[in-house]
Amino acid sequence: MPVLHNRVNNEELKQRMLAETEPRKTVSFYKYFHITEPQLFRDELYKKFKELNVFGRIYIAHEGINGQISVPENSYEAFSDALYNAAPELNGIRLNIAVDDDGRSFWVLRMKIRPKIVADGINDPSFDPARTGKYLKAKEYNQLSQQPGTIVVDMRNHYEYEVGHFKNAIEVPSDTFRDQLPMAAEMLKDKKDENIIMYCTGGIRCEKASAYLLHHGFKNVFHVEGGIIEYTRKAKEEGLPLEFIGKNFVFDERLGERITDDVIAHCHICGKPCDTHTNCKNDGCHLLFIQCEDCASTYEGCCSAECRDELHLPEEEQRARRAGRENGQKIFNKSKDHPLRKHRDEWRKEREE
Ligand SMILES: [Zn+2]
Ligand SMILES: [Zn+2]
């Protein structure tokens, strides 16, 4: 039996990668399709990718595959061939190549079997995540979203929606994707014949959400191909008007990529227009929230006077306080009084009238 996982220690692998001279590309991809024997499928693919010196993480489940990897540039074609040939459903799948990325963020190949590629809490064996809604390209999105009666649904988290979203998109106000699915079906239950467009950051969540709505009797379900990332790229490339306003929240050090100049969010402390996410400087808190420059200087980058004061305590005392605290909400809560929440409720009311 060949060794199908790494045996060299992490630090050494990282050094090896850093010593490479060949350029790499960072590639992400996903596909919902039925994999009968995930372990077998995984082992086959692992062998091929290992040979090609592919790094990164890939999840495989009965419902499909999801990967974010780095590929040496001169192996790129061999890599895409290997992936396309791994299953008929994978032939020609969209491979997203990250721009402004040197491909040096991975140095090990990890391929794991998971119950799902996106956790959804669904146990219904008749649910088929591969039976998805129709893809919309950027141009098609712009056309369909303009049609009267079309409903656009954001399947991301509140803090993402808050700083940027498609014009007129509604939010599904839940903290987890698994709660969002039934909630979306419930919110839209009278709209089973309308055009419904779902979207998320990279497409993987909204694609499953589209399958979920189809499964529950919705007829005209669409989703934005490749999510906001691909929409923006295409719209810019084709010179289309951008229907997405504000920032696309991403979990890198920028905490969001500006798409348009619109600032649609507000400072969580003083309420003035601002869409700069930050983490509370108090390590015992680390709350993700929006803070303007003035408040950042008043509170020294903390979310509150309490956190600022705690920051000035001796390190030991800070640690002692932290130990007694339960791991609270790390993300600004979805308060009902939040300005954007009100905005959305008003918008929804308008729509119903
Ligand atoms: Zn402020
Ligand atoms: Zn704080």
Tell me which residue has tokens 């490339």: 237
User: What does pTM read for this prediction?
Assistant: 0.83
CA–centroid distance, residue 277 to ligand 2 (Å) = 13
What pLDDT is recorded for position 20? 85
Query: Which ligand neighbours the alpha carbon of 298 most closely?
Result: 1
Is the pLDDT confidence value at 9 over 90? no
Beta bridge partners of 32: 64
Task: Give the C-alpha separation, 251 to 265, whole Å.
Answer: 18
CA neighbor of 68 nearest in space, from 94, 29, 31: 29
Residue-wise pLDDT tens digits, 317-326: 888 887 766 5
Tens of pLDDT, residues 242-258: 999 999 998 777 788 89
| Helices 204-215 & 177-187 angle (0-180, nearest 10) | 50
Q: What is the pLDDT of residue 86?
A: 97
At position 351, the amino acid (one-letter code) is R
Q: Please state which CATH number belongs to domain 10-113.
A: 3.30.70.100
Q: From the CA of 284, which ligand is nearest?
A: 2
Find the 319 Cα to ligand 2 centroid distance in Å: 14
Output DSSP code: residue 242: P
Stretch 208-213: mean pLDDT: 97
Q: Where are the chain's structural domains?
A: 10-113
Listed in sequence order, the residues at least 6 apart from 61 whose beta carbon sits closer than 8 Å to its beta carbon are 35, 38, 113, 114, 115, 116, 117
Q: What percent of the chain has pLDDT over 90?
A: 73
Mean pLDDT of the chain: 88
CA atoms within 13 A on the CB side of 261: 0
Residue 232 pLDDT > 80: yes
Q: How far is the CA of 271 from the centre of ligand 1 (A)?
A: 6
CA distance 128 to 124: 9
* Ligand 2 center to 110 CA (angstroms): 35
CA dihedral sign, ordered 150, 155, 161, 164: negative
Average pLDDT over residues 88-115: 89
- Let me know if 280 is a catalytic residue: no
H or E stretch covering 232: helix 227-237
31: β partners: 65
How far apart, in whole angstroms, are the C-alpha atoms of residue 140 and residue 163?
A: 24
Note the pLDDT tens digit of each residue in 161-200: 999 999 999 999 888 899 999 999 999 999 999 999 999 9
